[in-house]
């Protein structure tokens, strides 16, 4: 759902961002198609569920809320199960959703739990924990891309976005630590860059990006919120609003980039 003026068809916001989702319109301002189709992977998480709710506002978007737990989605969304660590599950979810998807957001990710924890020193590195970090944070989104990118339209704007993290920026790393999470998010950023290059060959109007949501008040960040600067801890609703606002402004030339919640580009 990259709201980009391109070709003879574009996605144009009918009013302010608060009224998202938007309506597909042609250059003359006439409605050119029905409801947009959006997919949120990891919809049971804090940011994922907020994204689903934001996309449902306005009633002009069909939202598929997919999660490993297959938790009941908000009213108006279509629920479904997906386990990003199981390619069979990912493929089945893509088949159920179908083609002509305007927006895919992968909001799944792990920092700790299930054999994972943020390492303070290289002395605590564990092979299994590192593998789990990469499986959830990098390989999983890559499998989602494998099965969902072919379902984006070829003749109009579309977006594929994954939630990364600023700590995955190699250039921005000044503190060290968090080896598995940092490395897996850095790998995710590289995957996005490569995906964008290939996607442009068949879907030149599409955008494929990594997004940093900031520090959001969720279970993932709760143990680490003590040192967050005042005003920099975001509610899930605010984070979802900012992320969709960034997606709204992106153009095909921005594909392959890594962007913060305020639209600024983050170095890899």
Measure the CA angle with vertex 136, ends 106 and 166; round to 5°: 65
- Smallest Cα–Cα separation from 242: which of 50, 96, 93? 50
Question: What pLDDT score was predicted for residue 224?
Answer: 58
* Spatial distance between the Cα atoms of 258 and 264, rounded to a whole number of angstroms: 9
**pLDDT for the residue numbered 8:** 32
Confidence label for 68 from pLDDT (cuts 50, 70 and 90): very high
- Collapsed DSSP state (helix, strand, coil) of residue 81: strand
Residue 26, pLDDT score:
39
Interval 27-39: pLDDT, tens = 333 333 568 999 9
pLDDT higher at 232 or 79: 79
So what's the pLDDT on residue 114? 72
- 136 DSSP 8-state letter: I
Q: Which residue has the higher pLDDT, 208 or 21?
A: 208
- pLDDT score at 10: 34
Report the pLDDT averaged over residues 88-103.
Answer: 98
Report the pLDDT value the prediction gives residue 5, as an integer from 0 to 100: 37
Helix (H, G, I), strand (E, B) or coil at 32: coil
Our CA dihedral for 36, 85, 183, 178, rounded to 10 degrees, sits at 100
- The whole-number average pLDDT for the span 7-16 is 33
Residue ranges per structural domain of the chain: 5-260
Over 50: is that where the pLDDT of 18 sits?
no
CA atoms of 12 and 163, how far apart (whole Å): 24
Q: How far apart are CA 131 and CA 224, in angstroms?
A: 23
- Mean pLDDT confidence for 146-152: 98
pTM of the model: 0.86
List, in sequence order, the alpha helices (H) in the chain. Answer: 46-56, 87-97, 127-134, 140-148, 179-202, 236-249
Asked if 101 and 88 count as a contact pair (C-beta separation under 8 A), the reply is no
pLDDT at res. 223: 57
pLDDT above 70 covers what percent of the chain? Answer: 81
pLDDT tens figures, 188-232: 999 999 999 999 999 999 999 999 999 888 666 555 556 666 666
- pLDDT tens digits, 156-191: 999 999 999 999 999 999 999 999 999 999 999 999
| pLDDT for 60 | 80
Q: Which two tokens stand for residue 85?
A: 């660590």
The rounded distance, in Å, linking the Cα atoms of 164 and 171 is 15
pLDDT value of residue 103: 98
Q: Which two tokens stand for residue 116?
A: 């994972």
Fold category of 5-260 in CATH: Rossmann fold (3.40.50)
């Amino acid at each position: 759902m990259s709201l980009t003026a391109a070709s003879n068809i574009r996605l144009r916001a009918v009013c302010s961002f608060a009224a998202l989702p938007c309506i597909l319109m042609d250059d003359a301002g006439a409605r050119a198609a029905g409801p947009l189709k959006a997919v949120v992977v990891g919809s049971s998480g804090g940011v994922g569920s907020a994204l689903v709710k934001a996309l449902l506002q306005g009633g002009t978007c069909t939202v598929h809320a997919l999660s490993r737990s297959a938790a009941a989605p908000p009213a108006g969304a279509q629920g479904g199960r997906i386990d990003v660590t199981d390619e069979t599950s990912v493929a089945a979810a893509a088949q159920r959703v179908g083609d002509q998807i305007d927006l895919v957001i992968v909001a799944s990710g792990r920092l700790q739990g299930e054999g994972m924890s943020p390492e303070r020193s290289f002395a605590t590195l564990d092979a299994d924990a590192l593998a789990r970090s990469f499986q959830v944070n990098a390989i999983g989104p890559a499998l989602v891309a494998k099965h969902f990118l072919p379902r984006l339209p070829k003749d109009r704007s579309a977006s594929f976005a994954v939630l990364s993290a600023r700590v995955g920026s190699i250039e921005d790393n000044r503190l060290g630590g968090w080896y598995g999470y940092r490395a897996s998010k850095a790998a995710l950023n590289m995957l996005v860059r490569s995906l964008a290059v290939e996607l442009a060959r068949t879907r030149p109007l599409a955008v494929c990006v990594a997004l940093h949501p900031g520090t959001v008040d969720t279970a993932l960040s709760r143990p680490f919120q003590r040192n967050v600067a005042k005003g920099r801890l975001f509610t899930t609703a605010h984070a979802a609003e900012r992320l969709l606002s960034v997606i709204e402004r992106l153009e095909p030339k921005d594909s392959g980039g890594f962007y913060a919640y305020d639209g600024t580009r983050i170095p890899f």
